[in-house]
Amino acid sequence: MRGLLDAVMSIGHGLELPQVLHGIVEAAVTLTDAEYGALGIVGDGQTLSEFLPVGMSEELTARIGRTPCGRGILGELIHNPAPLRLTDLTRHPRSYGFPAHHPPMRTFLGVPVRVRDEVFGNLYLTEKRGGAAFDADDEAVLTTLSIAAGVAIDNARMYHESRRRERWLQALGEITRSLLSGTDADAALKLIAERAMEVADADSAVVVDHDDQDSGREASGDHGGPTLSVPLQTADGTRGALRLRRHPGRPPFDESEVKLISGFADQAAIALELAQRRAESEELAVLHDRDRIARDLHDLAIQRLFATGMTLQSATRLIDRPEAAERVGRAVDDLDTTIQIIRSTIFGLRTAGDGRGGGPSLRRGMAEAVQAATRTLGFAPALRIEGPADTDVPAELAEQILAVAAEALSNAARHAAARRVEVMLTVAERATLTVTDDGVGVGSAPRRGGLANMRSRAELHDGRLEVETPEGGGTRIVWSVPLPE
């Protein structure tokens, strides 16, 4: 009785479930003076999901190989959860025999371990030392120990559950902070997969989007074994699913894990939704700010420049010296050019990022092409864009324009020896790209290579290519195609 009391107190102090389970088997072997003992955990109500032996060396356990799954005498307690005492287990009708390298066993004592109203598993004891059989006192002691074991297991599971819930909350907090700090959605989904895999003690985790594509967000590769898939559900619908998997042979996800993981997935989906709404709100604020800047430029800068130009134009009639009048005229022309540039900038502000069909911005692509040519030319070409380039030019035609612009700038860098290059794109009924340089000109050289490519691109869209020589020398390339109706 003193030994039973000590054993009950010992296993009642434990909170970590693996240590508690091992302590239960150790106490059972000691109290009944058995040579071998084990705790079999019932999985699906028909077989054993885990088997924790005591009394065999690790070398012997490895030689025996696969652990029992619940057939024979072990399965008898699964189907009939009541104490079972046998003098010779080999004579029982359900005796199944032993695998190779297994030590001989005859005497047997088994009792179920209940946690509340559920059979958690069974305690199995064999080979009472001294050659005697297990008696009624051994059965009474083991039954009492199994009751205390059920309470200890329940406490350990509740402690484990609270710790696991705490880890889920910590993981969810990390994901929420990451999203609110501006992490992009793809990185956030990978973080969700990684944290879910760690906290759920899974071997792999992947977030599958609503199109059932993994999108490279798998935290670790693995195939087979217990799998759990829970939806990432929001008020607007399902964003995808969180899929967790364990290696074959590992225990399946239990009901409490399913509830925790489902709750985590719901909260993660809400965090993703809030982050998306925040990003949309910030983008809307940027668009409003661009619209305000464009409105101010139109209402203030353009009107002032236009008024200044009108004043200068009217003043030329009062100037007696022709050269002075000519200079004033050039200033008026410069103001007109500045007004066109500002109008193009205003249009760019109002259409930035709104390429046709959600595609890339042609204005941005032109700016990037000019920026790339700066390194080879040694100076920055001038760029002007007039008209609705990002809304009226189809994506396929925009690609052609960018290719022609890159080719023309490359030709200027390699052959023209130019000191000034101007690029102008005008979009109206036609898309017209003009690239002008002050270099040595093309002369009478055959129009092959880059010029031929540009001409074929124009003809592909029923357009034309013209190569001209400006009055001051150099080369002007005019590439023009009609816009589709």
What pLDDT is attached to residue 214? 41
What pLDDT is attached to residue 332? 79
What letters, b where the CB count within 10 A reaches 16 and e where it falls short, cover 368-380? Answer: ebbeebeeebeee
Looking up tokens 């009639």, which residue turns up?
317
Whether the per-residue pLDDT at 347 is higher than 80: the answer is: no
C-alpha–C-alpha distance, residues 402 and 366, integer Å: 6
Q: How far is CA 377 from the centre of its chain?
A: 41
What pLDDT is attached to residue 219? 47
- The residues with which 436 forms a beta bridge, in sequence order, are 422, 476
The model carries a pTM of 0.45
Phi, psi torsion values for 379, nearest 5 degrees: -155, 165
Distances from the Cα of 21 to the Cα of 43, 79, 338, 418, 437, angstroms: 15, 22, 83, 84, 85
Q: What is the pLDDT of residues 376-393, one digit of tens each?
A: 888 888 888 888 888 889
User: What proportion of the chain, given as a percentage, has pLDDT over 70?
Assistant: 84
What pLDDT is attached to residue 357? 40
Q: What is the pLDDT of residues 275-284, one digit of tens each?
A: 677 767 777 7
Between 461 and 344, residue with greater pLDDT: 461
Residues in the chain: 485
Rounded average pLDDT over 83-109? 87
Whether the per-residue pLDDT at 449 is higher than 80: the answer is: no
Whether the per-residue pLDDT at 262 is higher than 50: the answer is: yes
